Amino acid sequence: MKQEQTVFGDLAEARTKYAGAVSPEAKVAAANGVESVLSRLLVIMENYPQLKSNETVQTLMAQLEGAENRISVERSRYNESVKVFNIKVKTFPTNMIAGWFGFSPRTMFEAVKGAETAPKVDLKIE
């Protein structure tokens, strides 16, 4: 189906963007893209009862759910590290050393707006 081709193409593109990201902000944006595509893929898989019974698809769904969980855990870890870093960069006396070496506050890793709701997927066969 066209929908699956689009999702797998989007996933490959998102992974390529993540691999090519050099700054923390670019990595955050790319990781959000990967997470968004993974959630769309899960929705597609859940909407096909005949695929759910396939052992390979069940394994894939478990792996995708695990990937989403790992992304969530790593986002929390990253944000905690950034929080500590940002406090150090802004408070005396470490702010003086940070200024000398060019350190500045970092951006928190936030989920894309609407990530908490499953995306709508049109399953029309063309």
Determine how many CB atoms are found less than 10 A away from the CB of residue 34.
19
Q: Tokens 């408070």 — which residue?
A: 91
- CA 80 to the chain's CA centroid: 17
- CB within 8 Å of 126: residues ≥ 6 apart: 1, 2
pLDDT digits (tens, 9 = 90+) for 23-70: 888 888 888 888 888 777 777 767 665 555 566 666 777 777 787 788
Q: What is the pLDDT of residues 112-125, one digit of tens each?
A: 666 655 555 454 54
Amino acid 114: pLDDT: 61
- The token pair at 49 is 């009862």
**What confidence tens digit (pLDDT) does each residue in 76-111 have?**
899 999 999 999 999 999 889 998 999 999 888 876
Give the pTM: 0.50
